[in-house]
Structure 1
């Protein structure tokens, strides 16, 4: 099957490579010539395990290519995926859907014959119906365009597996249209359906809400256990052991029930804020009032860690040397958007601390966001002479550090495990003072 993927950022590039792996011919389209050139050369412009191999394999096979020309997509395919970004509007909680609108404005007038647009971008509910109306108005004489919504559920660091072996496929369609969107999706995802992956065919607004509701629920679960961590700190309890006990309950489950520094990245923070904003526009803002506290708890964790660092130095971090291990918002990613790790490093630097930062993959992106921080190329360089070490991203290389070896490099053996990921007894046995969140 021939298809185009409009937008080749994190979502689009992964989806395009995944569809080529599924046997389709795929054209990725993006307005960024440098990104297109990198992808056409089989290089991923961001860190995602397994993606470079897929790109190289299918660029070489001819099943995957990239372009900056939307006219080429209109000519090449009858199925088009919209995978552009929907960032948070500056000064507002609303999602910025200008790039989604631009795809329809640029692509639809060029289409001839029957076409299907499947949106994968995370959008406010009601967007798909609005885009269908706009597509109908823009379509050339004799052309038909059906809009469906096919949200993605990728986890950074596991996006390739989530594309090739998803938990479920969700498709939103307008039941009053001709059924072209569902037919195209079933043909596109035939290998996944044959493998037993369920396809849930819903109406358009329900499909749009699935993604933001899922992210809101995950964010709520993370913030809930972090709120409990605050109670544990006050009561002298251990949130890690408490989480383990809760996780055995099948009604609750252990996933995302890990107390620490909180969530970040390009999805959860902006999605829950956009969800709240859209609920307010629809007159249902009270239904999502809890998400304001979810967001507030998450931000409070960052302030908590900064306060703990200052408290370790008697209330003032000025001139004190701190090593922050981690800049990405999560391990196996180079994404620093709304990163808790980079946030606390920046706040500590602004408070006058001498902060050294190291991350295995995110240094380049971190430098672009916060260029004034002192970035070091290795853990050893970051911790040398440190009076306090903060583990802010739970990379495996940090979890497996030798506490004795690190101890030989620091000025003082004090570590703040902001992700509760270290083997605390082993570090204490090596002479370290170990502090965690909620412990």
Structure 2
């Protein structure tokens, strides 16, 4: 039974996720760690660095009871049985994959620190949005640098949070994805993490799979949502040329139960930090796998997101 959960990265994903785990699992000690003392200071104050409806109340209820925020990376790693990596994965601005591939330097830095200071066996969970096979990269780093007495299992557990509804998304998610190694130890680790989520999420919403499928599912989910926005914006151009009303067309199309009404509002394109980044990441993966036609398809989704395009 899990008694201690840690998270490296106190940003938009790590903080709320751990707050909800602490709320729903009062017997688990949850520690959120970040090397930025200003950010940790905010999490320990009355003005949190992240605004989400319902988050303040959860943090106030759990903070100092079974939810803690700290800059002590070593203690967080050593004390946690399950350790989330929830750091930023920006798009690369230099080198191979510039402008498209995800920069994993922060993820890899955390993996090296875990390997350096960990004591005992750990379940390391990639929570950041990462390219396919990133878990293998983390596992390779841990294996190359680990103490011979330590054992690690690396899981993929992508987040599906939307700004403004993150707490509801965590309390009542459509699904929880957990990917791991297809081995007895891998499935044991998957079941251990599943047991935490099962404290408040129905078992039929927890989907287990291999690591690569879990990693890719996050990118594809965002790509499909972005595709709908690009599609209705492309239709908007046709409407302007013919005198049709794109709002009425979207309403008619959205009434089809196979399609549904969500993400069919013509607009200036998709915003936020995820859709564009994840699509370009998917494009880069397709190019790396020598799938130029597939890469071009997803690149078109990215470039035709604006009605003015």
TM-score normalised over the length of structure 2: 0.93
Once superposed, what is the RMSD of the aligned Cα atoms?
Answer: 1.5
Compute the displacement of 1:168 (Å).
0.7
Q: Residue 29 of structure 1 corresponds to which residue in structure 2? A: 33
Compute the displacement of 1:14 (Å).
1.1
Q: Determine helix, strand or coil for the equivalent of 2:124.
A: strand
Q: Is 1:76 matched with 2:82?
A: no
Q: Residue 47 of structure 2 corresponds to which residue in structure 1? A: 43
Q: Is 1:173 matched with 2:180?
A: yes
Q: Residue 371 of structure 1 corresponds to which residue in structure 2? A: none
Structure 1 residue ranges without an equivalent (≥5): 305-439
| Number of positions where the alignment pairs a residue of Structure 1 with one of Structure 2 | 300
Distance 1:138 1:170 in 2: 28
Per-residue CA deviation, residues 59-112 of structure 1 (Å, 9 max, x unaligned), is 14x111111121111222110011111111125211111111111011222111
Structure 2 residue corresponding to 1:291, chosen from 290, 298, 308:
298
Distance 2:44 2:4 in 1: 18
Compute the displacement of 1:25 (Å).
1.7
Per-residue CA deviation, residues 297-353 of structure 1 (Å, 9 max, x unaligned), is 12x44x57xxxxxxxxxxxxxxxxxxxxxxxxxxxxxxxxxxxxxxxxxxxxxxxxx
Distance 1:261 1:205 in 2: 33
Compute the displacement of 1:196 (Å).
4.7
Q: Determine helix, strand or coil for the equivalent of 1:152.
A: coil
Distance 1:59 1:41 in 2: 10
Aligned pairs for 1:234-273 within 5 A: 234-273=241-280
The change in CA–CA distance for 1:175 and 1:30 in structure 2 (over 3 A counts) is same
Q: Residue 57 of structure 1 corresponds to which residue in structure 2? A: 61
Structure 1 residue corresponding to 2:104, chosen from 88, 94, 97:
97
Q: Determine helix, strand or coil for the equivalent of 1:207.
A: helix
Per-residue CA deviation, residues 257-307 of structure 1 (Å, 9 max, x unaligned), is 111121111111111011101211121232232222111112x44x57xxx
Q: Is the 8 A contact 1:29 1:69 kept in 2?
A: yes
Distance 1:99 1:32 in 2: 13
Q: Determine helix, strand or coil for the equivalent of 1:211.
A: helix
Q: Is the 8 A contact 2:6 2:32 kept in 1?
A: yes
Q: Which gives a bigger RCO, structure 1 or 2 (Cα 8 Å, sep 6+)?
A: 2
Q: Determine helix, strand or coil for the equivalent of 1:99.
A: helix
Q: Residue 417 of structure 1 corresponds to which residue in structure 2? A: none
Structure 2 residue corresponding to 1:150, chosen from 144, 154, 157:
157
Compute the displacement of 1:184 (Å).
1.9
Compute the displacement of 1:18 (Å).
1.1
Q: Residue 197 of structure 2 corresponds to which residue in structure 1? A: 189
TM-score normalised over the length of structure 1: 0.66
Q: Residue 10 of structure 2 corresponds to which residue in structure 1? A: 8
Q: Determine helix, strand or coil for the equivalent of 1:192.
A: coil
Distance 1:175 1:87 in 2: 29
Q: Residue 134 of structure 2 corresponds to which residue in structure 1? A: 127
Distance 1:89 1:297 in 2: 22
Per-residue CA deviation, residues 375-413 of structure 1 (Å, 9 max, x unaligned), is xxxxxxxxxxxxxxxxxxxxxxxxxxxxxxxxxxxxxxx
Structure 2 residue corresponding to 1:282, chosen from 281, 289, 294:
289
Q: Is 1:117 matched with 2:124?
A: yes
Distance 2:181 2:157 in 1: 13
Distance 1:54 1:266 in 2: 25
Q: Is the 8 A contact 1:44 1:55 kept in 2?
A: no
Distance 1:281 1:203 in 2: 21
Q: Residue 85 of structure 1 corresponds to which residue in structure 2? A: 88
Q: Is the 8 A contact 2:115 2:141 kept in 1?
A: no
Distance 1:141 1:203 in 2: 26
Compute the displacement of 1:176 (Å).
2.6
Q: Is the 8 A contact 1:118 1:181 kept in 2?
A: no
Q: Is 1:136 matched with 2:143?
A: yes
Q: Residue 221 of structure 2 corresponds to which residue in structure 1? A: 214
Q: Residue 403 of structure 1 corresponds to which residue in structure 2? A: none
Q: Higher Cα Rg: structure 1 or 2? A: 1
Q: Is the 8 A contact 2:230 2:269 kept in 1?
A: yes
